[in-house]
Amino acid sequence: MTLGKFRIHREGYKFIAGALVVLAGLNTAGWLIWPGPMLYHYLGFGASLILFVFIVMFFRAPSRPLEPDPLLIYAPADGKIVVIEETYEKEYFRDNRLQISIFMSPFNMHSNRYPISGTVTWTQYQPGRKFHARSPKSSEMNERSSVVVTSESGTEILVRQVAGAVARRIVTYSKKGDRVHQGDELGFIKFGSRVDIFLPTGTAVDVQMFEQVRASRTILARVI
């Protein structure tokens, strides 16, 4: 849905409509059932309006076109860099990889994008627990969805969507064999969460710890 230049993500349609009905119902019931001081009704309406605007903004999906570059690896999510380290990736590569993790607060845009162009060669969904998304355990213990994209040069990059303590649903659009383009939408995570990206060791990193990054805008690393 597009309102002028403002676009609402399709994952938010039902949630926004449901929130509108519930909030409108609560406010109407308050006015009809409890004829208390008008100030309280106005405060309740104001709080409901703020909550509704927050929900709408959460499901925003800005257009971020880019010119694909096979030598660049773009951020797959908006948020803050919380991990840059070499680690053992045990689900697919089963060897050491450079892990970069982006923590997404509820105030970040939650549409996830492909960091490179290529072919989806592996996908896996894993149910799990609800550790806070900042916790190192969340990458291996929480609900997660992993996608491997292989570039034309043969470089494999794993992108892992990880649910956080309040995330309710991970949506991944990737299917094995899909031909995908840098900057295209990979999926969506509803409410707080994180996205991990696993790169070949020795990859030249362009970001620093705690840096704020934007999907399809911030260059995470460069292919060597």
180 and 84 in a common domain? yes
Asked if residue 196 belongs to a domain, the reply is yes
Domain that holds residue 187: 72-222
Q: pLDDT at residue 151 above 90?
A: yes
| β-sheet with 185-190: strand ranges across | 111-113, 185-190, 169-172
Instruction: Tell me how far CA of residue 33 lies from CA of 26, 36, 37, in angstroms.
Output: 10, 9, 12
Top-confidence residue, 137 or 92: 92
Nearest 5°: the CA angle 8, 14, 18 is 115
| The total number of structural domains that make up the chain | 2
Q: Give me the mean pLDDT over the 148-162 stretch.
A: 95
Q: Are residues 15 and 98 in the same domain?
A: no
Q: Are 196 and 100 in contact (CB under 8 A)?
A: yes
Q: What is the pTM of this model?
A: 0.84
User: CATH code at 214?
Assistant: 2.70.70.10
Query: 80-133, pLDDT tens digit by residue?
Result: 999 999 999 999 999 999 999 999 988 898 899 999 999 999 999 988 666 655
At 51 the pLDDT is 92
- Predicted confidence at residue 57, as pLDDT, reads 87
* pLDDT, tens digit, 9 for 90 and up, residues 174-206: 999 999 999 999 999 877 689 999 999 999 999
Of 24-28, 68-72, 167-171, the one with minimum mean pLDDT is 167-171
Instruction: Identify whether residues 85 and 114 lie together within a single domain.
Output: yes
- Tell me: pLDDT of 134 over 90: no
Catalytic residue among 48, 145, 174, 193: 193
Per-residue pLDDT tens over the stretch 5-64: 678 888 888 889 999 999 999 888 888 887 777 888 888 889 999 999 988 888 888 889
- Based on the residue annotation, tell me whether 193 is a catalytic residue of this protein: yes
Q: Is residue 63 part of a domain?
A: no
Q: Are both 51 and 76 inside the same structural domain?
A: no
